[in-house]
Chain A
Amino acid sequence: MNVLLDYLPEFRDGFLGTLAITVSSALLALVLGVLIAGFRVSPIPPLRAFGTAWVTVLRNTPLTLLFLVAFFVVPQILFQGASPFVLATLALGFYTSSFVCEAVRSGINTVPMGQAEAARSLGMTFSQTLRMIVLPQATRTVLPPLSSIFIALTKNSAIAGAFSYSELFNVSKLLNDKGYAIAWIFLWVALAYLIITFTISGLFRLLERRMGVAR
């Protein structure tokens, strides 16, 4: 009990750190994921191949390895001297984008074929069909998997703590080094994560109700 009260500022900072990295990498993952999903269904073969390679490689790489790449290989190529926040966002965002891409792609597949056919017969181009007809309708089916992807992202962000970005995992490490009982730290940190994950699933439930259509 005392751990939380004595170190409330640390817990607050850790909580905000986790929140910040989750939001920034979720945005990156969302943008990249939708873009790559567009690549994967496009009529242009090299883009399709690129999308497939992207998803296959990123989905089968351990996140810890991606963090190593982001922190030790990426600075050799670009972003010299970037902050841990930026590098961690890159690793988490790229990793999660492959899952977002798959969710969006299976969402695209659930849109009735007639919709795309009708759009085509109206003379719409591929990007018009995708942007104006298919993606808006796919949103509805993509939301539930997206919610669990973002919950997983929240939990994955703990790895950033091991790479010198200050968030909740770092807090538990710090307090443990100060000699507090790990069980209490564990419970409070778990609670903090629960707050974030419940907020995410609540938000998405709200969105789903907004987007829901009586069928």
Chain B
Amino acid sequence: MSGASVLYDVPGPKAKARNRLYTVIGSLAVLGLIAFVVLRLSAKGQLEPEVWNIFNNAGVRTNIRDGVLTTLQVFAVAAVLSLTLGVLLAVARLSDHKPVRWFATGFIELFRAVPLLITIYALWVILLSNRESLGLTESQPQFWALVIGLTVYNGSVQAEVLRAGIDSVPKGQREAAYALGMSKTQVMTTVLIPQAVRAMLPTIISQLVVTLKDTSLGYIITFEELLFTARLMSTNIIVNGNDTYVPVIIVTGTIYVAMCLVLSALANWIEARGRRAKTGIGVTAAGEPVAATDALEVADAAPGGPADQKG
């Protein structure tokens, strides 16, 4: 934030008075906006106590808890699988064998270019039509479509992140390892990948936040995760002749934001820790790649890249 304070002088008496005026106007504007929203909502009867009382119902609470657990379950499976796939694809893309390299490049580029929703939908259709032969029951086609979709997309992105990390390891490391007589596999697993993971950890976790957010796409293929459960509840529970979209969506939104903030905080903490411990390879800035979920930017964020030269 060093750039911010440079943009204006330390306020003198006149500027202080002016800033105070703007402060009042700004606060009034923000408060006015909030008040307007609240008034409109209460005019529609969405802020009545009865409407919010639904959260005292044990069934509603159980539903929300189950939704959160399902979301976390999908996230856990998809996170583990996508990290595994990411490592495999990154190594494949750096392989010495041309066909392997081409396959990995094609795979990564294809699944990064296609919207995740369309991948998930296609997988869902495929799994649904082959339900019997695969032995999937009930909501399992949705679950696996969501998990596999998240895995191929985020795996591709994580592969690019890792590749950027491996490229950022100083050349001398690899040369020294080869000079010691290590094999290709040894160099990759014991020298390059550990350093790449360390350098890229904030970025990897930021991408995991994206994975967590994207589990909500399950809503569209009618998988009963948090968002779908919430939507179903809000349509089914009728209070005062109204559906209960507003309270349910506000509560679900808060839960999502809280879950993502916890993960983001972890990324920021690791980044701060990495910056304190000055051991060779720098740690990337957290949060940057979340912006785009596109590895082009991740490559820029690699240590020593242009993004590191921020004032």
- In the complex, what distance in Å separates the CA atom of A120 from the CA atom of B44? 50
Answer whether residue A81 sits at the interface, using C-beta atoms and an 8 A cutoff.
no
Most central of B209, B214, B227, B292 by chain A CB within 10 Å: B292
Check B264–A190 contact: CB distance below 8 A.
no
Check B249–A59 contact: CB distance below 8 A.
no
Provide the residues of chain A in CB contact with B1, threshold 8 Å: 109
- In the complex, what distance in Å separates the CA atom of A62 from the CA atom of B249? 12
Answer whether residue B296 sits at the interface, using C-beta atoms and an 8 A cutoff.
yes
- In the complex, what distance in Å separates the CA atom of A193 from the CA atom of B115? 8
Check A76–B44 contact: CB distance below 8 A.
yes
Contacts A62-B214, A182-B125 hold; do A145 and B115 have CB atoms under 8 A apart? no
Answer whether residue A43 sits at the interface, using C-beta atoms and an 8 A cutoff.
yes
Check A152–B292 contact: CB distance below 8 A.
yes
A58 to nearest B CB, angstroms?
9
- In the complex, what distance in Å separates the CA atom of A26 from the CA atom of B11? 36
Answer whether residue A166 sits at the interface, using C-beta atoms and an 8 A cutoff.
no
Binds A, one of B18-26, B132-140, B162-170, B178-186: B18-26
Q: Chain B 239-251, CB within 8 Å of chain A: the 1/0 string?
A: 0000001100100
Binds A, one of B76-84, B191-199, B253-261: B253-261
Answer whether residue B2 sits at the interface, using C-beta atoms and an 8 A cutoff.
yes
* A-B pairs under 8 A by CB, number: 197
Q: Number of B interface residues, CB 8 Å?
A: 69
Answer whether residue A1 sits at the interface, using C-beta atoms and an 8 A cutoff.
no
From B11, B117, B126, B293, A158 is in contact (CB under 8 Å) with B117
Check B121–A106 contact: CB distance below 8 A.
no
Check A46–B23 contact: CB distance below 8 A.
yes
Check B291–A103 contact: CB distance below 8 A.
yes
Interface residues of A in 139-178 (CB under 8 A from B): 141, 144-145, 147-149, 151-152, 154-159, 161-162, 168-169, 172-173, 176
Considering the complex, give the chain B residue whose CB is closest to the CB of A119: B7
- In the complex, what distance in Å separates the CA atom of A151 from the CA atom of B289? 13
- In the complex, what distance in Å separates the CA atom of A193 from the CA atom of B112? 11
A166 to nearest B CB, angstroms?
15
- In the complex, what distance in Å separates the CA atom of A168 from the CA atom of B117? 11
Provide the residues of chain A in CB contact with B4, threshold 8 Å: 40-41, 108-109
Q: 9 A–B contact pairs at CB < 8 A?
A: A44-B19, A62-B213, A73-B245, A73-B246, A102-B287, A120-B8, A134-B7, A151-B292, A176-B121
Which residues on A are within 8 Å of B, measured CB to CB? Answer: 40-41, 43-47, 50, 56-57, 59-65, 68-69, 72-73, 76-78, 99, 102-103, 106, 108-113, 116-117, 120, 125-126, 129-130, 134, 141, 144-145, 147-149, 151-152, 154-159, 161-162, 168-169, 172-173, 176, 182-183, 185-186, 189-190, 193-194, 197
Which residues on B are within 8 Å of A, measured CB to CB? Answer: 1-4, 6-9, 11, 19, 22-23, 26-27, 30, 36-37, 40-41, 44, 46, 110, 113-119, 121-122, 125-126, 209, 213-217, 219-220, 227, 231, 234, 245-246, 249, 252-253, 256-257, 260-261, 264, 287-288, 290-294, 296-297, 300, 306-307, 309-311
